[in-house]
Amino acid sequence: MSKITIPFGPQHPALKEPENFMLVLEGEQISGATINLGYNHRGMEKAAEDRTYIQNLYLIERVCGICSHSHTTCYITNVEELAKAEVPQRALAIRTLFGELERVHSHLLWLGVAGYEMGFETLFMYTWRDREQVLDCLELLSGNRVHYSINTIGGVRRDITAEQKAEVKKRIKYLEERTQYYIKLATGEPTVLARTQDVGRLPYDVAIERGAVGPTARASGVARDVRKDDPYLIYSQLDFKVITHNTNDVFGRLVVRALELVESYKLIHQILDGLPEGPIAVKVPWKLPAGEAVNHYEAPRGEDIHYLKANGTDKPERLKVRAPTLANLQSVAYMLEGGWLADVPLVIAAIDPCMSCTDRAAVWNPEKGRTEVYSWEEMRKLGIEHYKRRGVDFGRL
Amino acid sequence: MKIPAKVFSEVITHLFKKPATTAYPFEKAKLFPNYRGRIDFDSPKCIGCQICVRVCPAKAIEIPLSAHQPPAAAPAEGQPAAAAKKKFDCIMKLDHCVFCAQCVESCPKKALLMTQDFELASVNRKELRRHYK
Ligand code: SF4
Ligand code: SF4
């Protein structure tokens, strides 16, 4: 059969963020896949070099809209390590709590997206409705649903009161019940099984070879979790299991994430019950002594690595971020090969990819040598003209 | 054989439940008390130290001297004339601000206040540049 190469993305209804997959097809079957990245480069690492450490906190938070706490915590651990700051136990516990709440909201989001990609939209609607509970917890504690900004250099910014504690526990109780139902539904429903079993296979040795991380690796039987392997924050004092599964397919990734939710609820209760007393932050000087630090963190999608080089000023000399999706993309190329074209969106979604977020419409005009920002009216005019040239008239709308 | 569509019974029970969504904007949105919204400014408290400008990650805030300065207080008997306290304005660029409230936290005089005001969208860019006097 003759081979044909088709591009999947960068703009594709099944992709939430721009990224390009060149798929070599033989009929409906994929015989090769290459991944092209770089559609969402925002120059954040460079931007970090001319911001102070405290300003960078808010920049780094925006590396990802879902794991915002993971990135800042990883970054701030580097900063505190260089500053030799003793972060109070209570602050570390609150950071851990946010880490787990974030994992819950991220995994519920994924469960919804996976349901959506399978064509099981009921699951999508229900999980996203219930996800509001954990988003409310985050807003209650930090003041925002997505960019919590709870971290500050030397500790956390907001304390947790007894009422807040009770409210969070109440909402987590509700989620526990719902999650049990989703686990039953997702593992027993024949439509889910038919759609996910033996799709996007990633055997144990390939997962190791390609350096898969997070739930993607754990669903291939690789018990790899930074929280256990190299405990940070207060994870060494907490009791939890590393969930693995050995079906090596999308179904395994679903089960791993669903069971991790249960572990996270357990952790949240443990942290809230044993919240140490004491201050929530210490003062850290603006300038850091010269040095280097590397740290890793188990984000909902896998291991996140940050590298920081300080040069004695109040700004970093170099910051490097390795997000978990980058580590998992090599595995996606393998998972797609030999599969069917119709499974592509599901296989890609199964690693829970997170490319990055949108950009604003600022245009650099080299003739005038300045940046121009389009107003709403201009933007509309531009769009109408663009489509007119292609023979479609939207002017009447 | 396994029977598909087990979720149906759940779907049916949901037909009789209240919707999970709210009727915003027809109803007031429910916010938690320490939600981070627009930053407000209390001019008499500000000493013009510019710390907020330095910590702002988004270059969203400026603290210029006010155009009209209050006159110096009449010097007290036997004392040297005290300089008038300078008055400062605040320019808040809402299209730059990321609502992190770091400025509020860093201000030594509590001249910046966090409000729960979040309905700030506008198609007119000028409205996004607020000048607090
Ligand atoms: S809230 Fe944050 S972004 Fe907005 S002015 Fe204050 S420091 Fe700047
Ligand atoms: S930090 Fe406070 S006192 Fe200093 S300039 Fe800003 S608003 Fe004024």
A359 band by pLDDT with thresholds 50, 70 and 90: very low
> Residue B106: closest CA among chain A residues belongs to which residue?
A54
Domain boundary among A321, A342, A362: A321
- Domain limit, last residue, from A292, A321, A350: A321
Rounded CA gap, A257 and A121, in Å? Answer: 18
Mean pLDDT of A127-140: 90
CATH topology of domain B24-68+82-132: Alpha-Beta Plaits (3.30.70)
Distance from Cα B113 to the centre of ligand 2, integer Å = 11
DSSP string for A314-339: SSEEEEEEE-HHHHHHHHHHHHHTTS
Residue B82 has pLDDT above 70, yes or no: no
Q: What is the pLDDT of residue A370?
A: 67
Q: What percent of chain B has pLDDT over 90?
A: 25
Domain regions of chain B by residue span: 24-68+82-132
Q: Which atom of ligand 1 is nearest to the CA of B112?
A: 6
Mean pLDDT taken over chain A: 85
Q: Answer with the one of A321, A356, A379 that is the final residue of a domain.
A: A321
Do A259 and A376 sit in the same domain of this protein?
A: no
What's the B111 CA to ligand 1 centre distance in angstroms? 13
Whether residue A242 has pLDDT greater than 80: yes
Tell me the C-alpha to C-alpha distance, in Å, between residue B86 and each of A100, B52, B53.
48, 17, 18
Q: Are A386 and A374 in contact (CB under 8 A)?
A: no
Residues of A in contact with B105 (CB under 8 A): 152, 157
Q: Decide if pLDDT at A355 tops 70.
A: no
Residue A375: pLDDT over 50? yes
Q: Residue A127 corresponds to which amino acid?
A: T
- Give the ipTM of the model, two decimals please: 0.84
Spatial distance between the Cα atoms of A343 and A118, rounded to a whole number of angstroms: 9
pLDDT given at position A361? 47
The reply to whether A51 and A119 lie within a common domain is: yes
CA of B51, closest atom in ligand 2? 1
Tens of pLDDT, residues B95-133: 999 999 999 999 999 999 999 888 888 888 888 888 888
Q: Give a yes or no: residue A195 inside a domain.
A: yes
A260 vs A241: CA distance, rounded Å: 9
A165 domain-assigned: yes
Which ligand has the nearest atom to the CA of B90? 2
Q: B18 in contact with A at a CB cutoff of 8 Å?
A: no
Q: For residue range A32-69, what is the model confidence (pLDDT) as tens digits?
A: 888 877 777 778 888 888 899 999 999 988 888 888 89
Kindly give, in sequence order, each residue whose CB lies less than 8 Å from that of residue A64, ignoring residues fewer than 6 positions away: A70, A71, A323, A354, A356, A357
- Domain range holding A392? 371-397
Is B132 touching A (CB cutoff 8 A)? no
Residues with CB under 6 A from ligand 2: B 46-52, 63, 107, 109, 111-112
Of the listed ranges A73-82, A254-263, B66-75, the least confidently predicted one is B66-75
By C-alpha distance, the chain B residue nearest A61 is B100
**CA-closest residue to ligand 1 atom 8:** B56
Q: Judge if A67 and A131 occupy the same domain.
A: yes
**Which position has the higher pLDDT, B1 or A119?**
A119
Q: Which residues of A touch B58 (CB under 8 A)?
A: 58
In a domain, A112, yes or no: yes
Residue A358, pLDDT > 60, answer no
- Chain B residues within an 8 Å CB radius of A191: 4-5
Is residue A346 in a domain? Answer: no
How many folded domains does chain A comprise?
Answer: 2
pTM: 0.85
Which CATH number is A95's domain given? 1.10.645.10
Q: Could you tell me if residue A360 is inside a domain?
A: no
Mean pLDDT, residues A323-337: 84
Same domain as A272, residue A123: yes
